[in-house]
Amino acid sequence: MSKQSYRVCFCFRRRFRLTVSEAPKEVNELFERYSENGIMDADHFLRFLVEVQKEDKATKEEAQTIIDNTLRELRHLPVFHRKALNLEAFFKYLFGDTNPPLSPSLGVHHDMSAPLSHYYIYTGHNSYLTGNQLSSDCSDVPIIHALKRGVRVIELDIWPNSTNDNVEVLHGRTLTTPVELSKCFKSIKEYAFVASEYPVVITLEDHLTPDLQAKVAVMVTETFGDILFSPGSECLSEFPSPESLKKRIIISTKPPKEYLEAKETKETKTESQRGKATGDEEAWGKEVGDPKGRNITDAKNDLDEEGDDEEDHDVGDPKCQQTEPPEYKGLIAIHAGKPKGGLNECLKVDPDKVRRLSLSEQQLEKAIETHGKEIVRFTQRNILRIYPKGIRFDSSNYNPMIGWMHGAQMVAFNMQGYGRSLWVMHGMFKANGGCGYVKKPDFLLKNGPHNEVFDPKAELPVKITLKVTIFMGEGWYYDFHHTHFDAYSPPDFYTRVGIAGVPADNVMKKTKSIEDNWVPAWNEEFEFRLTVPELALLRIEVHEYDMSEKDDFGGQTCLPVSELRQGIRAVPLHSRKGERYKSVKLLMRFEFV
């Protein structure tokens, strides 16, 4: 029989339901240690929960409830004891959905009473785009998806429509098709607090004339009403806390500026408005002939110029006050702006005012070379927003850790994008009950005895070692087509596991490949020495080895190390887009030593 024929037969002969015989050796040994005569009752199981799973607060009643629930799921199989676990039931518990790596009961557990500047905030970039940055449709659908995932900052680019009498959302100077601003606002109101009750910030990239800004002010107040947080036109002296802003909507943009001379013709005026950004993010710099101002060539040249416009008039300028609509300015709770001058001016901390500053990923990388500690000091009181460089036309993303380790609260991502950076973003905001706000570590918030701040470049000692054991995986046979990985044989899976964190902690390691097996058993152990465990995220990926082509993707997840449950856990894997598979998971053990 040829190897190809043998593999076809093997594929159809193979049993895929897990059995006791497939339990890892360590699981068998633990059952022997914590059972008696092949039976693990509530007392035995409680001892296992405390000593192995490190669940110090577990009670005998909770242990019995887990046993009862596990046996209920196995009611179709013969069970020898109705109030205790045998080996098969114990294995079922370990690899079941009730034994995840993060505690579902933990919920929101960070202190939520500090100012907004003390939190990492789940932040979207160009939240209205359905795909790429140049030609995809604008829609409220990706906004809804982001809010359902727990994203707390939604970005909208607002422009006059073609007749200059209404406001629409689109990515200027591109071929993106617009969506009405009112539709986006209504969807934000409907879905803002589906995933989290903590505040939603709308960052407006404002390209409007004063009359249209006044129209937006009416739209905002009519749509959001009492849930809008609007402290008035004055800058805040300190940001409120997420706790005090539960179920509130916050507007953030640059206060209005003087626009264009009244003598300009309507046609010239429309094109200038589309050619020069007046909001917080983009300065396009050139005029174009297309009445919509959407030119792909110019977009490629200018897309990475998104950022605070240094040419703004000071809000105290009398000319500015003559033209700005006060009702619009009064709705802006988080003022954005960039003082004239270099980085030193930008990063000055005003003891009487707080504000938001935006930098591109490239600007941040350049700034941290010379001003790393000043950025940390700035973000103790003020909000720093980082956004993707303009050449990411495909809606890809960047390394968020660079911003986080310098205290940046709003690391803005293309949530409709893809790739490992986005998986890391998903992982960070699984923390704190998935509420979209994660308290920054104390070392980024407090100064030392000599007023020194955390130095992201400093070489630090190892604080803790995370030991990870990857036992086995299952579920691909049920969630993937049987020829998805290989047309003629079961897959050859391997796992990559590592840390996303500060540079000293970044590492990826890899198991061996297990040939021809839908239920691979690796039984490999890895150690990760962490200098800043507070910012560390555990990255896990499964791939299928392919000798002749690129290895196939088999699932991924990213987990905050600070919230990992020790012990043996069932780790669900997700798709490239971050959607959880129905069946695919790994059996792993986590230990801090």
Return the pLDDT at 286.
Answer: 28
In a domain, 61, yes or no: no
In a domain, 499, yes or no: yes
Tell me the pLDDT tens digit for each residue of 389-416. Answer: 989 999 999 999 999 999 999 999 999 9
Co-location of 403 and 502 in the same domain: no
CA 184 vs CA 75, 142, 211, 390, 581: distances in Å: 49, 10, 20, 23, 30
Is the confidence at residue 293, as pLDDT, over 60? no
Between these two residues, 330 and 464, which has the higher pLDDT value?
464
Return the pLDDT at 280.
Answer: 34
Co-location of 9 and 136 in the same domain: no
Both structure tokens of 189? 């109101």
**Which residues belong to the active site?**
125, 171
Mean pLDDT for the stretch of residues 290-317: 41
Is the confidence at residue 371, as pLDDT, over 60? yes
**In whole angstroms, what is the distance from residue 556 CA to residue 58 CA?**
30
Tell me the pLDDT tens digit for each residue of 102-124. Answer: 998 899 999 999 999 999 999 99
In a domain, 396, yes or no: yes
Domain CATH number, residue 393:
3.20.20.190
Query: What are the backbone dihedrals phi and psi of residue 470, each rounded to the nearest 5 degrees, phi first?
Result: -105, 110
Co-location of 495 and 403 in the same domain: no
SS (H, E, C) 456-475: CCCCCCCCEEEEEEEEEEEC
In a domain, 253, yes or no: yes
Return the pLDDT at 18.
Answer: 58
Is the confidence at residue 297, as pLDDT, over 50? no
In a domain, 70, yes or no: no
Both structure tokens of 211? 């009359």
Co-location of 399 and 529 in the same domain: no
Co-location of 393 and 464 in the same domain: no
SS (H, E, C) 359-408: EEHHHHHHHHHHHHHHHHHHHHHCEEEEECCCCCCCCCCCCCHHHHCCCC
Which domain does 301 fall in, by range? 117-341+384-413
Between these two residues, 75 and 253, which has the higher pLDDT value?
253
Q: With the C-alpha atoms ordered 82, 88, 91, 95, is the resulting torsion angle positive or negative? A: negative
Q: How confident is the model at residue 22 (pLDDT cuts 50, 70, 90)?
A: confident
In a domain, 226, yes or no: yes
Q: What is the average pLDDT value for the chain, to the nearest integer? A: 86
Co-location of 390 and 471 in the same domain: no
Count CB neighbours of 73 within 10 A: 14
Mean pLDDT for the stretch of residues 342-359: 93
Whether pTM exceeds 0.85: yes
In a domain, 376, yes or no: no
Domain CATH number, residue 560:
2.60.40.150
Place of tokens 């802003």: 245
Tell me the pLDDT tens digit for each residue of 161-211. Answer: 999 999 999 998 899 999 999 999 999 999 999 999 999 999 999 999 999
Integer Rg of the chain from CA: 27
Residue type, 426: H
In a domain, 369, yes or no: no
Is the confidence at residue 288, as pLDDT, over 60? no
Co-location of 482 and 394 in the same domain: no
Tell me the pLDDT tens digit for each residue of 217-259. Answer: 999 999 999 999 988 767 899 999 999 999 999 999 998 864 3
Structural domains of the chain, count: 2
